[in-house]
């Protein structure tokens, strides 16, 4: 567990940008979120500890709820849960936690990082629903965003990957709004804020393990990049914003195409196979990607989407063709396409 030490330092003026950044991010929301309890995803690490502390300063204790997700991946996970509960109690904010089974996701041949992320968000959404919070603050900051863009570039990701993390995102089904108010704040400033306010936080030893791709990028790619391109954070964040704008245009095109090819079939959304097949390959794949995201399904790889497109176009009208993805089936039969 890290601490700021006993000597009180002079307050750096720009450290006050952090509560201000939270208030600025909240000002971007529509009025329907004004009275909602505000959940803070609280792992106990540096970023989320600063986020919770600054959220209390910006919003007041009564509106804040600290929510902890227990992954069970680290032998110290129980002590982390206890630390978060005690700190929330010391700060006078409501606290709740939930345990999740990440191993089940790993057994489905997903990496540990992806599995933890995939299990964490539904658990966080469930806790928000239980406590009436329609707004959840996440502690991602400027260094996280730059690392994400860089890793997505190295993976050859498309626009959704290069768009990295948006400032805010709303889950269509629940209306839960995720907000990342620290997304423009560099890690160094967050550390200075923690020092200024004598905060205590958890140091996760996995954050230095070269086993994880992000840590390797942080240790071996970012330092020389920062040495030669000091403004890399702002540059990569700008690239992410450009990708987000382009992705919004693709989503608008997908919405138009979806309206054009959708058939009225009672309770389920069904597409006309003939109208879908009339789209060129790029628009058809864009439509599939948007449709899956709108249904809350995880993204499929480009290769997987292209394989789906081939099967949808080549399927026989007299035979049901089914393609499995994330526990659902994409089916085509007698000129209709639907998810089951």
Which residue, chain included where needed, has tokens 């790889």? 301
User: Is residue 151 located within the same domain as residue 283?
Assistant: no
- Segment holding 137, helix H or strand E: strand 135-137
User: Which of 238, 253, 287 is the last residue in one of the domains?
Assistant: 238
Amino acid 11: pLDDT: 47
Residue 144's nearest CA partner among 246, 11, 45, 74 is 45
**How far is residue 40's CA from residue 262's CA, in Å, rounded to a whole number?**
39
Nearest 5 degrees, angle CA 290-CA 295-CA 299? 55
Q: Are residues 225 and 156 in the same domain?
A: yes
Residue-range definition of the domain harbouring residue 335:
266-339
* 122 inside domain: yes
Q: What is the pLDDT of residue 212?
A: 80
The pLDDT of residue 120:
82
DSSP code at position 319: S
Residue 170 shares a structural domain with residue 287: no
**Number of neighbouring beta carbons within 10 Å of residue 116:** 19
Same domain assignment for residues 141 and 202: yes
- Residue 255, domain member (yes or no): no
75 and 210 fall within a common domain: yes
What is the rounded average pLDDT for all residues in the chain? 88
Residues 323, 226 within the same domain: no
173 pLDDT higher than 80: no
Q: How far is Cα 324 from Cα 67, in angstroms, rounded to an integer?
A: 33
CATH number of the domain that residue 161 is part of: 3.40.50.620
CA 258-308-243 angle, to 5 degrees, is: 60
Task: Report if residue 257 sits inside a domain.
Answer: no
The three-class DSSP label of residue 130 is helix
Question: How confident is the model at residue 13, as a pLDDT?
Answer: 56
Residue 99, φ and ψ in degrees, nearest 5:
-95, 140
Residue 234 falls within a domain, yes or no?
yes
Same domain, yes or no: 171 and 295? no
In a domain, 260, yes or no: no
Cβ–Cβ under 8 Å, residues 257 and 279: yes
Asked if residue 118 has pLDDT above 90, the reply is: no
pLDDT in tens, 215-271: 899 999 999 999 999 999 999 999 999 999 999 999 999 999 999 999 877 678 899
* Residues 230 and 272 occupy one common structural domain: no
pLDDT of residue 295: 86
Is the domain of 293 the same as that of 164?
A: no
Task: Please report whether residue 84 resides in a domain.
Answer: yes
The tally of CA atoms less than 13 A away on the side-chain side of residue 237 is 17
Q: What pTM value is reported for the model?
A: 0.84
- pLDDT tens by residue, 18-77: 999 999 999 989 888 888 899 999 999 999 999 999 999 999 999 999 999 987 777 788
**Among positive and negative, which fits the CA dihedral 86, 200, 21, 58?**
positive
Confidence of residue 7 (pLDDT cuts 50, 70, 90): very low
Q: Is the dihedral of CA 244, 247, 251, 252 positive or negative?
A: positive
Determine how β-strand 64-70 pairs with β-strand 94-99: parallel
315 part of a folded domain: yes
DSSP 238-272: HHHHHHHHHHHHHHHHHHHHHHHHEEEETTEEEEE
Last-in-domain residue among 194, 223, 238: 238
Sheet holding 64-70, edge to edge: 94-99, 64-70, 38-41, 135-137, 177-179, 168-170
- Which backbone phi and psi does 228 adopt, to 5 degrees? -95, -25
Burial class of residue 224 in the structure, from the number of CB atoms within 10 Å of its CB (0-12 exposed, 13-18 middle, 19+ buried): exposed
Domain limit, last residue, from 192, 221, 238: 238
46 in a domain, yes or no? yes
- What average pLDDT does this structure show over 308-315? 90
Residues 203, 319: one domain? no
Asked whether residue 84 falls in the same domain as residue 225, the answer is: yes
How many domains does the chain divide into?
Answer: 2
- 9 vs 101: which has the higher pLDDT: 101
pLDDT at 10 over 60: no
Clarify whether residues 298 and 217 are in a common domain: no
- Beta carbons within 8 Å of 102's beta carbon, 6+ residues apart: 71, 72, 73, 112, 115, 116, 119
């Amino acid at each position: 567990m890290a601490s700021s030490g006993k000597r009180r330092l002079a307050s750096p003026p720009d450290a006050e940008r952090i509560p201000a950044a939270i208030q600025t991010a909240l000002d971007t929301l529509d009025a329907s979120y004004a009275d909602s309890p505000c959940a803070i995803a609280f792992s106990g690490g540096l970023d989320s500890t600063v986020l919770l502390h600054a959220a209390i300063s910006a919003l007041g204790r009564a509106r804040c709820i600290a929510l902890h997700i227990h992954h069970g991946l680290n032998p110290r996970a129980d002590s982390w849960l206890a630390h978060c509960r005690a700190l929330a109690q010391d700060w006078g904010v409501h606290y709740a936690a939930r345990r999740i089974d990440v191993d089940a996701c790993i057994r489905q041949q997903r990496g540990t990082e992806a599995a933890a992320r995939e299990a964490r968000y539904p658990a966080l959404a469930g806790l928000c629903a239980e406590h009436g919070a329609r707004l959840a603050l996440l502690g991602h900051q400027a260094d996280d965003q730059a690392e994400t863009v860089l890793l997505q570039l190295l993976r050859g990701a498309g626009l959704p990957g290069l768009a990295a993390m948006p400032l805010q995102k709303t889950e269509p089904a629940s209306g839960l709004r995720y907000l990342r108010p620290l997304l423009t704040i560099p890690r160094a400033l967050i550390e200075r804020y923690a020092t200024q306010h004598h905060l205590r936080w958890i140091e996760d030893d996995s954050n230095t393990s070269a086993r994880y791709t992000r840590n390797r990028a942080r240790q071996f790619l970012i330092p020389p990049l920062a040495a030669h391109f000091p403004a890399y954070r702002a540059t990569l964040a700008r690239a992410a914003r450009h990708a987000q704008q382009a992705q919004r245009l693709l989503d608008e095109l997908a919405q138009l195409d979806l309206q054009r090819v959708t058939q009225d079939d009672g309770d389920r959304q069904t597409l006309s196979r003939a109208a879908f097949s009339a789209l060129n390959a790029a628009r058809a794949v864009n439509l599939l990607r948007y449709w899956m995201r709108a249904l809350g399904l995880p993204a499929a790889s480009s290769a997987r989407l292209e394989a789906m497109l081939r099967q949808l176009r080549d399927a026989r009208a007299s035979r049901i063709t089914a393609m499995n993805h994330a526990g659902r089936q994409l089916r085509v039969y007698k000129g209709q396409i639907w998810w089951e």
